[in-house]
Amino acid sequence: MSTRTRKPMNVGVVGLGDISDTYLTNLRNYTDSVKVAACTDLNPAAAKRQADRYGIPVVHDTLEALLIDPEIDVVLDLTTPNAHAKINLAALHAGKHVYTEKTLATSLEDGREILELAKAKGLRVGCAPDTWLGGRSQTLRALLDSGAIGSVASGVATCVLPGLEWFHPSPDHFYEPGVGALGDMGPYYLAQLASLLGPVKSVAAIGKQTFDTRTAHYPTIAGHQIPVNVDSHMSATLEYHNGAVVTLIQSFDVWDSQLPRLELYGTEGVICEPDLDPLWGPNVFGGEVWLKTGDTARFRDALRPDPLPDWERVEVKHRFNETDIAADPALPRVNSRGIGLVDMVLAIESGRPHRCSGEIGYHVLEVVQAIFASATERRFVDVESTFSLPAPLPTDFPDSEA
């Protein structure tokens, strides 16, 4: 681990729901960079339970009390998306850096206000997902940077599931307007693509609401009827500024599939994320990377006696290569969520840009909304926001920041 001797930045956590277990478990590995110093939640019992479980020294009764706490440097916002704008803006007004779970906000107006306020105050805004900092995505980035498949011409990114009501204890939110598979799972795929290809230029999409209601199957709410108020299946075409054209399919209406989760097609070869489990896509940190170059992928002769070569399994040399998100629901998930926050803290100290930036978070939000608008209005929609391609994560991060 790092040999840094500087005082860690104090983090105040807002929102102690399901995802907090993952963050609080993982941030224990980086106590020389971040210290979870306080927390608060609308449910005081939840805040106390997590504080006792993870040794958080201060539990504030209100958000306002946490924000005026002079010991807090960074606010980690783990609340639901509809609360993000209010909390992130309040934290910035209080002089705190912000790292927020996806999405940055629920409207572009709020997203712009967050970024403008942070810039005016000289504060940082970071935004999940940070799963693209994981070993597999960083291996993809290294292959692209090395020219292994030439220039990326096109690609496919798919997340097709039967719906989160099969395994989530609170699934109603996922079928509200602006959410669905695109709003919930899409940011993982769009953020990963952003880290590999840069910003989107324009989109075209068609959506479909297959069912009017869904039935919950999670044991504690089995039989609960969920009204559907969003397109739960979305098919979109994304045109990137670098010339790539990517087909994006995000659906809660598919019983099973063997679709690849993500493939990029270059002028000299193909890269594939081959996971068979539909949950092992860009919303986890690890997994295999497969590669075929033009020489190994080309069909030269239909009568050739030897079979076509198998995919090359590319060694994942980067850290953060966990794939276990299907653990016992009663236990914290095993993954590296929170390294985006650690990277932001280290970037603040050194003065460099952080990777999971508010600008990327805003761009992903705009792309999601552009896809919904395109599907509703049956037209191409241009995307105005942009960002600089983030630097690759060093293979020995965070040791490299010592």
Cβ contacts of 156 within 8 Å, gap of 6 or more:
246, 247, 249, 259, 260, 262, 263
Quickly count: other Cβ atoms within 10 Å of residue 265's Cβ: 18
278 pLDDT above the threshold of 60? no
Q: Which amino acid is at 239?
A: E
pLDDT of residue 340: 97
pTM (two decimals):
0.91
> How does residue 94 score in pLDDT terms, banded at 50, 70 and 90?
very high
> How does residue 321 score in pLDDT terms, banded at 50, 70 and 90?
confident
Intra-chain end-to-end CA distance of the chain, in Å: 9
Quickly count: other Cβ atoms within 10 Å of residue 350's Cβ: 9
pLDDT of residue 298: 55
Question: Token digits for 124?
Answer: 């940082």
Cβ proximity of 61 and 50 under 8 Å = no
pLDDT tens digits for 216-249? 999 999 999 999 999 999 999 999 999 999 999 9
Q: Which is more confidently placed, 331 or 142?
A: 142
* Residue-range domains of the chain with CATH: 9-127 (3.40.50.720), 135-314+358-382 (3.30.360.10)
pLDDT tens digits for 78-88? 999 999 999 99
pLDDT of residue 309: 63
Cβ proximity of 106 and 256 under 8 Å = no
- Provide the percentage of residues in the chain whose pLDDT is more than 70: 90
326 pLDDT above the threshold of 50? no
Instruction: Please tell me what DSSP assigns to residue 191.
Output: H
Strand, coil or helix: what is 111?
A: helix
pLDDT of residue 281: 73
What is d(CA 299, CA 44) in angstroms, rounded to the nearest whole number? 63
327 pLDDT above the threshold of 60? no
